Homo-oligomer: A and B are copies of this chain.
Amino acid sequence: MKKYNIAVLGATGAVGREMLKVIEEYQIPVGTLLPLASAKSAGTEIDFMGGKVKVQEATEESFQGMDYVLGAVQNPMSKKFAPAIVRSGAVYIDNSSAFRMDPDVPLVVPEINGEDAFQNKVIIANPNCSTIITLMAVAGIAKLSPIRSMVACTYQAVSGAGVNGTRELEDQMHALANGGEIVHKTFPAQIAANVIPFIGEMKDNLYTSEEMKMQNEGRRILHLPELLVTCTCVRVPVMRSHSISVTLRTEKKISIAEANEAIRAFEGVRLIEDIEGRCYPTPLDTTDQDLVYVGRVRDDLTDDHGLTLWCCGDQVRKGAASNAVQIMKKLIEKAD
């Protein structure tokens, strides 16, 4: 079996570390594994397949001989290294939002539009985490009838802000439980015992950059260029799974039974009708796994062609690392 040389750019962050874990779990046939990070993190040792691999400083020369580069860095770093990755001949699967709206770059959730990954195997973008989880929940329904619009409210975990976000919530919960000063640096307000209805930057239409991703990326992934989405993104004091309440309107009327059947049949999704005596999932139920859980499917009382539902998924896994590795796995399987 052919083996593949894989670099992870940003290997010491929360998503980068999870990518290494997922590569192992999925038994990707790895030749060389190259964890790359900033000079500051170079030399760090990371567990991989029972051994240790040493993190190297990312430079423009790092990518020579690689087959795939998985990106887990912010936009500026992604933009900086993308040309060198492309020159090296490796396929760049990028978790940042730098290239997501580039019409030449496929934006892919494998279960939904996996075929798009084969269109242009130079750079492939991994979508926004809330967008992936929401679309996984509704994509089965979209097969029955095109979705015209969605109103989505998110309940987003602190892991979306990386290791610093997780640490800030842990520190604040410790201070609340034991006394001590509440300090916030990563989030714009206290997040423990609070929620914050603002993620990203403000756009001209008063939506945040995070909120607009659901519409803009949703259009590309679902192949619905007219899709309309009103989204409110809210940070909640949850560690690593996002939840979304979605009200969607379809062209054709879809019954609850048809919707449940479509969700049940959709790969990567689990319809929850009973979990520990509850008839709905909570974000904690989905921690540390790739499945998106969907529940509470019911009629939208404000629109005859509407449905409303609740979904949860691990932000670090299916919302980021696993989706990227799944894209790579799809390309590898096609090549074999």
Residues of A participating in the B interface, judged by any CB pair closer than 8 Å: 149-151, 153, 155, 169-170, 173-174, 176-178, 188-190, 192-198, 202, 205-207, 215, 228-230, 232, 234, 236-239, 243, 245, 247, 249, 256, 276-280, 282-284, 295-303, 306, 308, 310
- With a cutoff of 8 Å between Cβ atoms, the chain B residues found around residue A300 in the complex are 151, 230
**How far does the Cβ of A149 sit from chain B's closest Cβ, in whole Å?**
4
Are A195 and B229 interface neighbours, CB within 8 A?
no
Are A243 and B197 interface neighbours, CB within 8 A?
yes
**How far does the Cβ of A324 sit from chain B's closest Cβ, in whole Å?**
26
Residue among B151, B207, B283, B306 making CB contact with A195, cutoff 8 Å: B283
Residue among B149, B229, B283, B296 making CB contact with A194, cutoff 8 Å: B283
Identify 21 residue pairs between A and B in the complex whose beta-carbon atoms are under 8 Å apart, listed by A's number: A151-B151, A153-B245, A155-B155, A170-B177, A173-B193, A174-B178, A177-B177, A177-B178, A178-B178, A188-B277, A189-B278, A195-B243, A195-B282, A197-B280, A198-B296, A202-B279, A206-B256, A229-B302, A232-B308, A234-B245, A237-B238
Are A280 and B198 interface neighbours, CB within 8 A?
yes
* Chain B residue with Cβ nearest A235: B282
The secondary structure that dominates the A interface is mixed
Are A197 and B247 interface neighbours, CB within 8 A?
no
**How far does the Cβ of A34 sit from chain B's closest Cβ, in whole Å?**
35
Are B155 and A196 interface neighbours, CB within 8 A?
no
Q: How many protomers of this protein does the assembly include?
A: 2
* Chain B residue with Cβ nearest A196: B282
- With a cutoff of 8 Å between Cβ atoms, the chain B residues found around residue A205 in the complex are 298-299, 301
Are B232 and A245 interface neighbours, CB within 8 A?
yes
Are A301 and B230 interface neighbours, CB within 8 A?
yes
8 interchain residue pairs of minimum CB distance: A153-B153, A149-B302, A206-B298, A177-B177, A232-B245, A228-B302, A174-B177, A194-B284
- With a cutoff of 8 Å between Cβ atoms, the chain B residues found around residue A299 in the complex are 205-206
- With a cutoff of 8 Å between Cβ atoms, the chain B residues found around residue A256 in the complex are 206
**How far does the Cβ of A205 sit from chain B's closest Cβ, in whole Å?**
7
* Chain B residue with Cβ nearest A299: B205
Q: How far is the CA of A153 from the CA of B247 in the complex (A)?
A: 10
Are A308 and B230 interface neighbours, CB within 8 A?
yes
Q: A151-B151, A174-B178, A202-B279 are in contact. List 12 more A-B contacts (CB 8 A).
A: A150-B302, A193-B284, A194-B238, A196-B282, A197-B243, A197-B310, A205-B301, A206-B256, A229-B302, A230-B247, A236-B237, A237-B237
- With a cutoff of 8 Å between Cβ atoms, the chain B residues found around residue A193 in the complex are 169, 173, 237-239, 284
Q: How far is the CA of A298 from the CA of B207 in the complex (A)?
A: 7
**How far does the Cβ of A120 sit from chain B's closest Cβ, in whole Å?**
29
Q: How far is the CA of A238 from the CA of B282 in the complex (A)?
A: 16
Residue among B178, B280, B282, B301 making CB contact with A215, cutoff 8 Å: B301
Are A278 and B188 interface neighbours, CB within 8 A?
yes
* Chain B residue with Cβ nearest A309: B232
**How far does the Cβ of A30 sit from chain B's closest Cβ, in whole Å?**
34
* Chain B residue with Cβ nearest A275: B189
Are B173 and A282 interface neighbours, CB within 8 A?
no
